[in-house]
Each structure stands twice: as structure tokens, then as C-alpha cells.
Structure 1
Amino acid sequence: MKRLNWEHLLDINTDSVMSATLTDATPTTMSRAPDGLWFGKDLSTPEPISEEAIERAVALMRSGRLHRYGEQGSGYPEPSLLEQDYAAYVGSKYCVAVSSCGAAMFIALKALGVKAGDKVLTSTFTLSPVPGAIAHAGAEAVLVEASGDYMTDMADLERKAATSGAKVFLLSHMRGHIADLRAVRALCDKHGIAIVEDCAHTMGAKWDGQHTGTWGRVGCYSAQTYKHINSGEGGLLVTDDDDVAAQAILMSGCYMMYDQHILKPVSEVFERWKYVTPNFSMRMSNLAAALLRPQIGQLADRGRRWNHIYSTLGRELTKAVNVSVPPRDAKEEFIASSIQFTLDLDPPQIERFLKECSLRGLYIKWFGTPTPVAFTSNYEHWHYLQAKPDIPNSKAVLNQLMDLRTPLSLTDADCLLIGQIVAVATAIAGTSN
């Protein structure tokens, strides 16, 4: 693998590109800080795939049956079993396994009747696949302001729900931050707006005891490598709506073999949709599902480990000047696979902060970066939006928002070291011009 220096890594979006492996073996020509602080771990390193999942995948490869549908044979394919397992896990009537969370969001919008030119409310603080799903459906994204705690600004949502004409709110629980879903649902019900939840970062998480993804009409989850379960790429769509489920199965690409789904509406529902619903070929493969099924049972343990890291890091980070981590609501049962903090510095100082962190082997992402290739989470880089959004509050939030991955391999000592590096880098940046 080609090695990249840290200055270059600051321009890479590791939500879509794995960063280079960075260890103590990094060439000595790299400039390091004189204080000797050095982290150097690759924060994009995922949890290893379990032996059980590997054995399932190998057995499947030996059979050659990697496509989820078959014209002959008995039993149910791996994705159907995964759908059954995951629906039971979150308490949903239906689950449809698809190729990505982006595919799940696109299918959800189409199944809810979103057409070209329609307006769809969505979160400002999110990743680019969210507005991308709206663009894929030919619709127009109406961005809702983000609040200082990185969640939906309820006052702005109320205004835009009343005036935009949108009938769907694609709500992103970005980086695992969960808004008051009871309040969001009440507001959307008031205005006749269906909720689609982007739960790419909240698999296993709950609000007030109820799983995210089950508060609206449709929930969408990710199985991409950097999420809570990992098949490289993959997505899950959950719903209690018969018509949405039937359309999702057909759109995902079942070739009318919907009887191979364990969880499916009755045949009369498919009769309503099967001649008018396109096949978008977005189904999940047998291989991806085989990797994922054993991981559902690992979510609780992973959640505990991630939250311990989050708590430890949060304590250490907030020892630094100008650093704040918003408090979490007691009803928010989150699973934190990353941590975000606000850095109360101006942009040139933040650039200095990032440089000082990189000199100490620590890669931190900045949502307010002016470099489009560096991050796909800043709405100013989405030039395909049909209308330039007027969302000054979100801009202010993103301009000071830092993001740090928290792989499960992080130890308490690692968290302490990260806190020390952030404290030093922040102190240096705070005195720079």
C-alpha cells in the first residue's frame, strides 16, 4: 500500500476511503513535534470479522451460491434469514436487505411516493449519501438547520414543515446524535410528513427505550466497514408498512421471487405493485448477509465498549481549553462509534490545531474544512442542490465541529494520550494569529 504523510491525510475523507496504515514504522523523514507526543494508530482500523462469520462466508463461497435468489433449491437464502433476525432485533414487522444504506434511503423515498421535483426535508449535519439519495430520486433537498448539540433545530423544522410543501423528512442521526424523536414525530404528524430515519450511525441505539429506525415510516441502516456491523458494504431497510415493504422488495431486485423472503406482505399487496414497480438491482448478496448475521448478536457488547471509549475520551478532551462536548439526553441510548467536539477557535487557528495534531500522529477531521475533497459532510460542497440553502446557524456549528473515530481497539491509555495531544494542540493554536 502506498504510504501517505499526515498533511496529505488531512485531505482524505475516510468515510469512503481507507486511510493509509500509520504505525511507528512510518518513515523517519516525517516531521514530528519536539515534545515527543506521538499517537500514530490508524483510527480507521475496523473490528476483525468473527471466526463464525468467516466460516459461514467460506462455506458459502465453496457452494458458489452468492446471489440471494435462486430458481431452484430449498430453504431460505442468507439475506432472508438476516432480515428475519434484524427485524426481530429492532421490533419491526419487515426488513429488506439491500446493497447500501444509500440504496435503502433511495428506495424508502420512492416507496413513499417521492417524485421528480418534490421537496424533501433533510438534516444539514449529515453525510453526502443522504442528499444524494434525494437527488437520486429526482427530488429537491430542503436543508433543516442543525443545533449547537449537532441535532435537528426544532424551530427551523417547524417553519419548513409548514411552508416547504415537503411530505417526507429524511432525518439523519448523524454520528449517532439522536434528536427527541417523540417531539420530531409529533411535529411531522401535525404537518402530514412521513419520517425516514437514516440510522447509518445508530444501529442498536434507542430513544426512550425504542430503537432508532422504528419511529417513522421507514428506517435505514448501514453495514459499511466503518459502521456498527461490517460486510464491507450493505444496508437494511425496516418498516411496518405492507406497501412500503412490498415495493422495497421489488425495487431491490427480487425478479418476482418475493416468496424467497421470510418476511413479506401477503400476495395481494404484491399484486398492487409488481407491474408498476421498477427493479433497481439494489439487493444484498448472500455473502454480505452471511458475514452480518453473527454480528447482530455482538451489537450489545460492542455498544458497551464503544460507550466506555466515548466516556473516557469525552472526559479527557474537555480538559483542554476551548473544547466542549455537548451533554447527551438521558433518553438517548446512543452507541458512540465516534466522538465529536466543538473547538472554539477561528478557522486559521483550527488549521493550526489540525497541523499540531498531525505532527503528533493524530488524525482529526474538521466538518468546516474549505477543501471539498476532504470531507463530504459540508453542505457547501453539494453544488448539485437546486437552491442555495440559507442556514447560517448550521454553518457556525460546522465551522467549529471536530470529528474523531473511536475504533474498539482504543485503550484507556490511548484515550489519555489523545486528550494530551488535543490539549497541547489547542493551547498552541489558541495563541496563534
Structure 2
Amino acid sequence: MASDLAPLPRLTRDLTEPEPIPEAGIVRACELMRSGRLFRYGEMGADQNDVALLEQEVAAFVGRRYCVAVNSGGAALCLALKVLDVRPGDPVLVNSFTLAPVPGAIVHAGARPVLVEIGTDYVIDCDDLRRKARASGARILLLSHMRGHIADMDAVAAACDELELLLIEDCAHALCAAWGGRTVGTFGAAAAFSAQTYKHLNAGEGGFLLLDDPDRTARAILHAGSYMLHAQHLSAPSAEVMAAWEETTPNFSMRMTALAAALLRPQLKDLPLRARRWNAIHDRIGKAIARSRHVRLPARSAKESYAATSVQFSLPGFDSREMAAFLACCAARGLPVKWFGADQQRGFTSAPRHWRYAGEQGPLEQTHAVLAGLCDIRTPVSLTDQDCDLVAAIVREAIETVVSARAGTGKTGRAATG
């Protein structure tokens, strides 16, 4: 690498800055705030139907029969476990590359996480899934499509059939994704989506539970907190099914507000176009980063259709000091990079070693070997092609700086920006 080239400019974009809410959502939110009617139910009849309409629209978008809108993606996961009859202390299988709200939802439901190894492509190891399922006696797999990386769903479905596992899909990063032409979120007994800021839809906080079974849906509506006003749902089982569960299902107060729904409805209409732009950003950065021989990108099957809101890559062979130096070089250029191998959890990023509340899990050596070099960069949909090229060039420059120091040359190599 030439060392006499001009240094790269700083990245001045804030990668945590979300897009504005569409104007239609702002107008509707202002109408609701002026009315003060922010609760999704009304005692004198439906005060408004923003949430009920959104539930219909999300169910149709994903391709499931029912949708129950709640206050977070974690709440949706907890409700999924409850309506699948998880009992206190039950083991629940979950892939070990995920975020803390996922094992947190298992604990919230009173169950016990059993972490399953991942492979070098960041998705669940089906061989370890079989081992852990047989050893634990678990009957539920909570499969996290972490950062939008979709496992071989044919293999997962076969393992679930073989092991008689009920599948819950955590689709917080997988709205608009598919496997073999089938929409992600339709493979299992239930699926949970998120509307937290930085996901595909942004209400600040919010979530959706998607189901096909009417009895489970009735319980989810009642658990979420409909009181006796569930007739105001437009995506709901029959009155007879609801009545059968009314007096035996506790209210957990997990409802979505009308205000959140008002912000989300116009975003859903725009999502397919936004997803295409997100993927263009992901692919441009990934292709440019891969020009470094020290980078490993996860392999993706031709059957996988993703909708990526961030980019992940691995730096195999970098030790913890080199990873820290790499992160510091990127930060000096204005580029924040998350690292899943850090000793301490930071921001949103944590790893199984940090989840002491999940109980003893064994070594998970394969997972931690992968996470030791796993990096993550948020990619807002507003990034330009020039922004993408600069992000990738900063990454490559930082890598070459660390590699040059390792070789003892003292050079601070420069990555090309073309």
C-alpha cells in the first residue's frame, strides 16, 4: 500500500440518524395529539382504528392470518412463548448470535434460554440444535434472524419436524426477507417483528406478533390488554373464540398505542422501495470491504432474500488488541463500528458471555470464536453511494494500518477509494 497518498476524509454522516417520519404519519399523529385519544380502544366505541387497520395491513404484508400489535418486539416474543404454553423453567432453544432482548423475552416468559451454537456465516448450527434439543428436552425453538441473516430454513424446518419443535421466528431484522420465495415470518407457529427505531419501521418502540391459529391469537389479544373491547380489532378470531378465553387469560398490558400506529402506517406502504435501497447500500459496502484479503463476509444462499439495515463482516485472525486498534482507527475517521467480541457489553451490543441471567450454558466455543472477529456497521437508508465508498475505504484503511503494525513495518497502509 502506498503511504504517500492524502489521508481519507472523516465520515461526517451520523449513522444513527433515522429518516424523518412520512408527512402523512406526522399529520395523523398531530390529529391524535390534539384529540388526546391515544389509547387504541374506546369505551363508547372505537375512538379511532389506527392500530386495528395497521394490524390488518401488517398481516397482509407478511402473509399471515392475524397480527397483534404490541409495545415492543420483546413483548411480541414473550407473548409468542406464552401462547405456545411455555411453563416456568421450560428450556427454550435460541441461536447464540442475537441481541439481549431475545434471551430476555425467554426469561420474561418464565422460561430458561438454551443457547445454540452458530457457524461462520452467523446462523444457527443445526447439528448443535439437535444436540441441545435432545439434551435439554426443549419443545420450542426461538430462531433469531439476527441482523437479517437467514438460516437454511429447509434444514431448520426439517430439524424442527424431526425433533417435534415448535418454531417462533424473531424477525426484528427480517421484515421483507424471504427464503426460497417464502416470506420469513411464515415458517413457524408464530413470528415477532419490531418497530423500534433503527429497524425497518420506526415508531420509537413497538412490535407485532403474527399468528395463524385463532385460539393462540385470542389469547395474545387478551394478554396484550384488550379488556373486553376486543371486538374493536379488525384482525381477530370470532367472538366465540374470544369468549372462550376471556376469563382465563391475564392482561399483561402490552398494547400498541394509536400514536405509534399512526406513525407506522405510511411507512409500511413505502417499505418495499426502502428495502431495495437498503440492500443496494449493504451490497455496495460489502463488495468494497471484501476487496481486503483480511475480511470475511458471510456466505449467503441463492435461496435467501434479505433486507439489510446494517453490514456485518469478520476479521479472522485479529486478536483483541488488534480489534481494539481497528475500532480506534475507524472511530478516528468518524466511523462507529460495533464489535461482538468485546469483554464488556456496549450500547446495544452484547454476547452470550454477558447474559449471566441466562444461567450456565457451557463453553459455546464455536460461537465465541465467530463473535471474536465479528463487526457491525449501521447503514441508514439515506446513505449515498459516495458515503458507502467512504465507509468501505475507512474500513480497509484501518485494517491495513493494523496489519502493517503487526508486520512491524510501522507503515499506516492506505486503502484505495475507487
TM range (shorter): over 0.9
- Which residue pairs with 1:272 in the alignment? 244
1:403 paired with 2:376, answer: yes
8 Å CA contact 2:180–2:304 kept in 1: the answer is: yes
- Which residue pairs with 1:153 in the alignment? 125
1:202 paired with 2:178, answer: no
1:221 paired with 2:193, answer: yes
1:191 paired with 2:170, answer: no
CA distance in 2, matches of 1:382, 1:105: 18
- Which residue pairs with 1:424 in the alignment? 397
Consecutive unaligned residues of structure 1, counting only runs of 5 or more, are: 1-33
- Secondary structure of 1:271's aligned partner: helix
- Once the two structures are TM-superposed, the CA of residue 127 in structure 1 deviates from its matched residue by 0.4
CA distance in 1, matches of 2:358, 2:126: 22
- Once the two structures are TM-superposed, the CA of residue 257 in structure 1 deviates from its matched residue by 1.0
- Which residue pairs with 1:132 in the alignment? 104
- Which residue pairs with 2:319 in the alignment? 346
- Which residue pairs with 1:415 in the alignment? 388
Q: How many residues in Structure 1 have an aligned counterpart in Structure 2?
A: 401
Question: Aligned partner of 2:327: which letter?
Answer: L
CA distance in 2, matches of 1:317, 1:299: 27
CA distance in 2, matches of 1:43, 1:183: 35
Question: Aligned partner of 1:348: which letter?
Answer: R
- Which residue pairs with 2:352 in the alignment? 379
- Per-residue CA deviations over 1:376-412 (Å, capped at 9, x if unaligned) read 4311111111223331100000000000001111111
- Once the two structures are TM-superposed, the CA of residue 373 in structure 1 deviates from its matched residue by 3.6
8 Å CA contact 2:64–2:212 kept in 1: the answer is: yes
- Secondary structure of 1:326's aligned partner: coil
- Once the two structures are TM-superposed, the CA of residue 271 in structure 1 deviates from its matched residue by 3.0
1:241 paired with 2:213, answer: yes
1:256 paired with 2:228, answer: yes
Question: Aligned partner of 2:88: which letter?
Answer: A
Equivalent in 51, 63, 70 of residue 98 of structure 1:
70
- Secondary structure of 2:192's aligned partner: strand
- Per-residue CA deviations over 1:153-208 (Å, capped at 9, x if unaligned) read 11111222222111111100000001122221221122111111100001111111
CA distance in 1, matches of 2:165, 2:48: 36
What is the correspondence of 1:6-45 to structure 2 with a 5 Å cutoff?
35-45=7-17
CA distance in 1, matches of 2:299, 2:44: 54
CA RMSD of aligned residues (A): 1.5
- Which residue pairs with 2:140 in the alignment? 168
- Secondary structure of 2:32's aligned partner: helix
- After TM superposition, the runs of 4+ consecutive aligned structure 1 residues lying more than 4 A away are none
CA distance in 2, matches of 1:310, 1:250: 40
- Which residue pairs with 1:25 in the alignment? none
- Secondary structure of 1:311's aligned partner: helix
- Which residue pairs with 1:295 in the alignment? 267
- Once the two structures are TM-superposed, the CA of residue 36 in structure 1 deviates from its matched residue by 4.7
- Secondary structure of 2:210's aligned partner: strand
- Secondary structure of 1:121's aligned partner: strand
- Once the two structures are TM-superposed, the CA of residue 75 in structure 1 deviates from its matched residue by 7.3
Question: Aligned partner of 1:228: which letter?
Answer: H
8 Å CA contact 2:309–2:380 kept in 1: the answer is: yes
Consecutive unaligned residues of structure 2, counting only runs of 5 or more, are: 1-5, 407-418
TM-score (norm 1): 0.90
8 Å CA contact 1:253–1:280 kept in 2: the answer is: yes
- Once the two structures are TM-superposed, the CA of residue 76 in structure 1 deviates from its matched residue by 5.6
Question: Aligned partner of 1:359: which letter?
Answer: A
8 Å CA contact 1:217–1:240 kept in 2: the answer is: yes
CA distance in 1, matches of 2:185, 2:350: 21
CA distance in 2, matches of 1:126, 1:77: 34
After TM superposition, the structure 1 stretch with the greater mean CA deviation from structure 2, 100-109 or 365-374, is 365-374
CA distance in 2, matches of 1:389, 1:215: 29
CA distance in 2, matches of 1:311, 1:180: 20
- Which residue pairs with 1:29 in the alignment? none
- Once the two structures are TM-superposed, the CA of residue 431 in structure 1 deviates from its matched residue by 3.1
- Secondary structure of 1:219's aligned partner: strand
Question: Aligned partner of 1:176: which letter?
Answer: G
8 Å CA contact 2:18–2:197 kept in 1: the answer is: yes
- Secondary structure of 2:405's aligned partner: coil
8 Å CA contact 2:25–2:266 kept in 1: the answer is: yes
- Which residue pairs with 2:88 in the alignment? 116
Q: 1:242 to 1:290 in 2, by over 3 A?
A: same
- Which residue pairs with 2:337 in the alignment? 364
- Once the two structures are TM-superposed, the CA of residue 280 in structure 1 deviates from its matched residue by 0.6
8 Å CA contact 1:321–1:427 kept in 2: the answer is: no
CA distance in 1, matches of 2:335, 2:236: 47
8 Å CA contact 1:79–1:290 kept in 2: the answer is: yes
CA distance in 1, matches of 2:112, 2:401: 43
